[in-house]
Amino acid sequence: MIKPKKANQPKLNNRLKTLLEFSEHWEMDQQERYIFQYYHNKLKGLDPNQINIHGVQIHKTGEGFIMTAIIRHSLEKHLNLQDIRLVVRDSEGKELARKDFNMEYFGVLNTLRARPWMFEFGAETFLVPEEEIQSKMEFEVLFDIPEPTVSEFSLQLDENWSNGLTEEQTASLENTLASMEPTKQNEISVSAFNLSEDENGVNVFVLIRNAFEEETTISNLPLQLLDANNELVAQLGFPLEQFTIKPVHARPISLHFPKAVLTKENPDWTNWNIQLTAQI
């Protein structure tokens, strides 16, 4: 961890204290400045290399609410915020509203600086009924940082698949892979893309995506098969015998649910899904 330069960083109780400053884009009277200074003085110091937002007040409007907050940081470099996402929660941690904000006019913060700012939340950003949000209620606001995802995977075909597919079928499989929703980084994602039923049971084609940066081996694949009514049709664990997937690759596999394990007669296959029943 990079340690802060002591000469430029006053400390309070072994933490770093910020200096409050005001934006030229927000005109406020002296009383408002005193209020923000009061709330800023009550804040605990920051750890090194930290960005923090502290909610000051909520004010209900006819279209939603306005939240005032103080943003501060202890990075060694200047803080230049671009687009951020904020989530407002009540005192019990229940999420009230979420919204993305462009911070172009917020400006740049020198190290160990704090600046108040105003955020407007429209009714469309509410996650709860409007009456649950009140002026001057106790709340907290947090940066909502989305988990990193992986959207581009290379197709990994073993010899049987390579020899068994035409060029058109391979291209179709690659298009199916490209159309899938991104998966979380450092996660194994299992997605089915084709189902057929015969007198012996149900055949399902599955793409297993490896979003890790290293090769991953799967020895068992426990799955549930659900029909259009989200009702269980079959549940089975598939031993895969060292099924290895390269990093950031997707590998197809064909799975068979025998008729003996089907628990529902005449399933509705107009829509269907598979789900993992345990961590793999």
Tell the burial category of 1 from Cβ atoms under 10 Å away from its Cβ (0-12, 13-18, 19+). exposed
CB distance 218 to 280 below 8 Å: yes
3-state class (DSSP) for residue 169? helix
CB distance 177 to 261 below 8 Å: no
pLDDT at 2: 29
CATH 2.60.40 fits 150-276, yes or no: yes
Nearest to 76 by CA among 46, 119, 56, 118: 46
Which residue do the tokens 């509410």 mark? 126
The ranges assigned to domains in the chain are: 6-143, 150-276
Confidence tier at 4 by pLDDT (50, 70, 90): very low
> Distance (Å, rounded) from C-alpha 226 to C-alpha 233?
5
Confidence tier at 146 by pLDDT (50, 70, 90): confident
pLDDT at 169: 93
pLDDT at 11 over 90: no
Two structure tokens written together for 105: 């006019």
pLDDT at 120 over 50: yes
pLDDT at 14: 66
pLDDT in tens, 228-277: 999 999 999 999 988 999 999 999 999 999 999 999 999 999 999 999 98
Tell the burial category of 65 from Cβ atoms under 10 Å away from its Cβ (0-12, 13-18, 19+). buried
pLDDT at 1 over 60: no
pLDDT at 31 over 90: yes
Confidence tier at 13 by pLDDT (50, 70, 90): low
What's the mean pLDDT in 35-45? Answer: 96
pLDDT at 122 over 70: yes
pLDDT in tens, 157-201: 998 898 889 999 999 999 999 999 999 999 999 999 999 999 999
What's the mean pLDDT in 73-94? Answer: 95
**What's the whole-number average pLDDT of the chain?**
92
**Beta bridge partner(s), residue 108:** 80
CB distance 126 to 97 below 8 Å: yes
pLDDT in tens, 199-225: 999 999 999 999 999 999 999 999 999
pLDDT at 257: 97
Which residue do the tokens 């005032």 mark? 68
Give 69's contacts (C-beta < 8 A, 6+ positions apart).
53, 54, 55, 56, 116, 117, 119, 141
CB distance 72 to 52 below 8 Å: yes
Give 169's contacts (C-beta < 8 A, 6+ positions apart).
none
